[in-house]
């Protein structure tokens, strides 16, 4: 049996997981029926093999196809799903994901997330009662143009120059997605995703923010954001328009800010000359001292119409060095976002980026989805993150002690 974060995927996990993936795939319409083709296997058989193949540690369609020929795996499929003979063709798996709609998976998954919330499954992920969401961009598929042979870049490919200015300079093409996850002491649970489309002006960072904005608005429309209080982002999202979007979706944004040339940072620098790190604490879990100072009612960010607050946190690491971070959020949220909470949320954001995606990459090779078709990329990524979400939920049930208390 494969392991995830030290937890073995056993029959007990499958007993927990099987009803959920059955509810995911049962409403999905089979696109092949519209083509009047001979259907050797139902859609549920294909999706069951893919999902359970991922649970068994497969990371590519080729590995899933090979696994589907294993007699023990076929017996497991029959035991869990009640299916008999299973599909085994790699091309069939891949072609099917090209025809399916990513939203056909997301809609039943949204209902599932609401049901999980109603059943209090997300309680171990709260931080002082707050439900924390994190946005992150992830690269999924890249290749050098010279290595493409007969494959050409698609309409969704982003482009950059590889080893610019050298004799090895080449154009590199890649795909990126923006991922939204619930994060907390118990790990992370994937919620939704949005592709980053090529920019028309060469501003790929702007393209990521546009993708994140589309994602938040869609999640607000589907009521997924009803399950979230705070959204935490890295410095790329230190943007007045994005803060306005988040607040319009009834979220409290907490955003890392690094740009020293911002007027608001100059205001903080001037104020900091007269404001020391007067508050301090000790993080017993991470074994480090920290101190912080708060800059309130900041108005020098002209692009943002309201007042802002910045919490600056300095931590003493075990090697004797100091680590400093600044987080900005609307002043109107300051009463609920105390500095210790902001600090913990910041750590969860870093943990989600470093640990959770590292875990996803180790178990699913998530950054190397070897399909060059937008539907296939989104669906295969969705299914990988879907499995990982239920691993996190399973672990949180098995190890309730993972939940940590944040002292304010």
Nearest to 108 by CA among 209, 192, 10: 192
The per-residue pLDDT string of the chain (408 residues; one tens digit each, 9 = 90 and over) reads 455 444 455 678 888 888 898 899 989 988 887 665 557 788 888 898 988 888 888 888 888 899 888 888 888 777 776 666 778 888 888 888 888 999 999 999 999 999 999 999 999 999 999 999 999 888 876 665 545 455 577 788 888 887 888 887 888 788 889 999 999 988 889 999 999 998 876 666 668 999 999 999 999 999 999 999 999 999 999 999 999 999 999 999 999 998 765 777 777 877 766 666 767 888 888 888 899 989 999 988 888 889 999 999 999 888 888 888 999 999 999 999 999 999 999 988 766 554 555 555 555 565 555 567 788 888 988 998 898 888 888 888 765 543 333 322
Q: Which fold has domain 103-402?
A: Transposase Inhibitor Protein From Tn5; Chain A, domain 1 (3.90.350)
CB neighbours (10 Å) of residue 225? 23
Domain ranges of the chain: 29-99, 103-402
Place of tokens 């946005």: 135
Nearest to 211 by CA among 312, 152, 219, 189: 219
CB neighbours (10 Å) of residue 114? 15
Query: 299: helix, coil or strand?
Result: coil
Q: What is the 3-state secondary structure (H, E, C) of 45-87?
A: HHHHHHHHHHHCCCCCHHHHHHHCCCHHHHHHHHHHHCCCCCC
Nearest to 133 by CA among 251, 262, 293: 251
The reported pTM is 0.87
């Amino acid at each position: 049996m494969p392991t995830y974060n030290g937890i073995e995927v056993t029959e007990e996990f499958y007993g927990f997981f099987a009803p959920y993936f059955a509810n995911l795939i049962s409403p999905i319409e089979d696109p092949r029926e519209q083509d009047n083709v001979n259907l050797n296997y139902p859609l549920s058989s294909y999706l069951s093999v893919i999902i359970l193949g991922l649970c068994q540690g497969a990371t590519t369609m080729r590995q899933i196809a090979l696994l589907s020929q294993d007699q023990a795996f076929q017996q497991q499929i029959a035991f869990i799903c009640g299916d008999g003979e299973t599909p085994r063709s790699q091309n069939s798996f891949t072609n099917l994901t090209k025809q399916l709609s990513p939203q056909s998976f997301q809609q039943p998954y949204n209902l599932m997330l609401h049901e999980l919330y109603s059943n209090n499954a997300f309680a171990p992920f709260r931080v002082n009662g707050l439900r924390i969401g994190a946005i992150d961009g992830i690269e999924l598929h890249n290749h050098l143009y010279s290595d493409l042979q007969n494959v050409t870049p698609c309409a969704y490919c982003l482009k950059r120059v590889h080893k610019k200015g050298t004799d090895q300079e080449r154009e590199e093409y890649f795909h990126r997605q923006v991922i939204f996850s619930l994060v907390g002491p118990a790990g992370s649970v994937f919620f939704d995703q949005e592709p980053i489309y090529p920019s028309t002006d060469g501003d790929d960072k702007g393209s990521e923010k546009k993708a994140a904005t589309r994602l938040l608005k869609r999640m607000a429309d589907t009521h997924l954001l009803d399950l979230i209080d705070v959204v935490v982002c890295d410095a790329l999202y230190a943007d007045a328009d994005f803060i306005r979007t988040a607040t319009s979706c009834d979220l409290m944004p907490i955003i890392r800010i690094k740009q020293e040339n911002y007027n608001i940072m100059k205001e903080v620098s001037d104020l900091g000359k007269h404001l020391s790190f007067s508050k301090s604490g000790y993080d017993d879990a991470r074994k480090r001292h920290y101190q912080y100072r708060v800059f309130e009612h900041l108005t020098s960010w002209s692009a943002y119409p309201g007042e802002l607050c910045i919490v600056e946190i300095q931590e003493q690491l075990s090697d004797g060095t100091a680590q400093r971070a600044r987080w900005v959020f609307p002043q109107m949220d300051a009463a609920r976002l105390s500095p210790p909470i902001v600090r913990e949320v910041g750590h969860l954001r870093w943990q989600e980026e470093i640990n959770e995606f590292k875990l996803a990459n180790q178990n699913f090779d998530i950054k190397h989805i070897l399909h060059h078709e937008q539907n296939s990329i989104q669906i295969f990524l969705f299914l990988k993150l879907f499995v990982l979400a239920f691993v996190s939920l399973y672990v949180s049930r098995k190890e309730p002690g993972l939940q940590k208390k944040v002292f304010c």
